[in-house]
Structure 1
Amino acid sequence: MTVNNAIEVSHLTKKFNDKIAVNDISFDVKQGEVFGLLGPNGAGKTTTLRMITTLLKSSSGTVKIFGHDTASEGKLARSMFGLTGQYASVDEDISARENLMIFSRLNGLSRMESKKRTEELLEEFSLVNSADKSLKDFSGGMRRRLDLAVSLITRPALIFLDEPTTGLDPRTRTQMWDTIRNLVKQGSTIVLTTQYLDEADQLADRVAVIDHGKLVKIGTPQELKQQIGGTDLSFTVRDKSQVNSATRLVEDKLKTASRLTGQRLSTNLSDIGQLATLLTAFQQNKISISDLTVQEPSLDDVFMNLTVGKN
């Protein structure tokens, strides 16, 4: 066990009859990071998460949580993390305060400790004003915040978030992002599955892309973006008579092909430093351009590149 690792997944495999849902996956999650699990529907990411959190028995392979094997030390490993899913596991017929009190007692807190922890969580998740309302009157965002609050009753060092913002409006999603960032600031390690690539880009320190049950790529969002190609550059050549000269300069200076639509040229930069070289060449040749845009590849591009059409 490496001291800095919260999770160590080694050769994890899950078979359902003849179907291999997760195929020999290995990765580590460092303490204090947000680790994103990305993949198309049916790729195996939720099955992987369920095995790591002991909700599903693996066919083979091992998982360690802070050095404790989930197979031989399951109870101890489970005590070290909190898990929240897409749908709240709380009781709809009672209030947020009552739910938090019940789950606090179930987690072994005394009545006084439960009351104190409930008040802290209601405050932390902006639920004080709605604390005594029936959950039937809660919005999706309030339900999601309560579900997360329940999973944090014991202040776990490791938190699993399975698609925590699915179905939320943009404003509530942003609030959840802020909540997740605050948890990291307080020292939590977070494993996040999400179908929103911008969410992984915003929150994750590293991302594992899973497809057809296999781990196809792992790295920081920036590393993954760089691996699929450079930065997109496009601009308009103001004088139509200079388009051919501009095209030749682009291909000479950047050693790459360009795409022309009317007077608008597009190309790729392998290094952002190439932009200054190109602009200097345009200036020396008195070529005037406008509407220059520089676009970094997104995680959407990475996702499409790694998963679409792969067998």
Structure 2
Amino acid sequence: MPDHDLAGWRARVDAALDRALPDPDTPPHRLHAAMRHATLLGGKRMRPLLVYASGTMFDAAPQALDTPAVAVELIHAYSLVHDDLPCMDDDALRRGQPTVHVAFDEATAVLAGDALQTLAFELLSDTPVPDAIRLALIRTLAGASGAAGMCGGQALDLEATGQKKRGQSESCKARIHSDPFPRVSVSALRRLHALKTGALIRAAVRMGALCAGAPDDALARLDLFSNALGLAFQVRDDILDIESDSATLGKTAGKDQAQAKATFPALLGMGASRELLSDLAMTMDDALAGFGEQAAMLAALGRLAIERDR
């Protein structure tokens, strides 16, 4: 995969995000600054890159891909803002910077996440594609973001976390869990992350292809790829939480074990988790095999997800 393609797409989506976000010099200043803090301070941009890679496979115009790429990143950014709150994961570091509720305050963080989510759909409603495709894009992102997707996965994650008490703030009351060592099966953990992590990744891949009018059989194969990619991304995250450090990750390392979270290394061990990554890599390769060289960028992003160090 040529590095300049990735760099070009990153620069393109970063510029589009900067244009889409509110001007921090206009009121409400604090909210607008928090939205930009949550979105523009780094990040892998994996989801926008997937939009560009899948759309390019089917010759979509870059201008048609910009809006869904921005929208999916805004949804991802909002989810991180809310995940970091004291009533959720209670984290102080994200992308090497203070989390939004630390840099600003908890109420502003909640509002910033809400505003990022609604901005994503406002932008998506103006995507320069035919009406039927625009509606499919909105439906795809909404389904991946709600109770049947990312939010549902986060709810399952909270239930599976063996931390006796969550959160200390008045606005987010302490959450009590009856079992400090939750009994979660591997199949339940896979389902959890198919929703929490995988749904938005699957939506990103699908949205790019939808912009190009890809046929149903191609969308089905891309879903197989995306399902494996989403799970692989999470397994790698779980491994990095153990093996890496906060400076490299840009977020607090070791939090999973400290909070008694259900993770793949905790349930399977490190060796079996690495084997699972290898199996998922083969699944991704098989799903893309029929596309030939057209899928080179998607395949490379899949490898990047598995080999990354942060």
Shorter-normalised TM range: under 0.3
TM-score where L is the length of structure 1 = 0.27
TM-score where L is the length of structure 2 = 0.27
Larger radius of gyration: 1
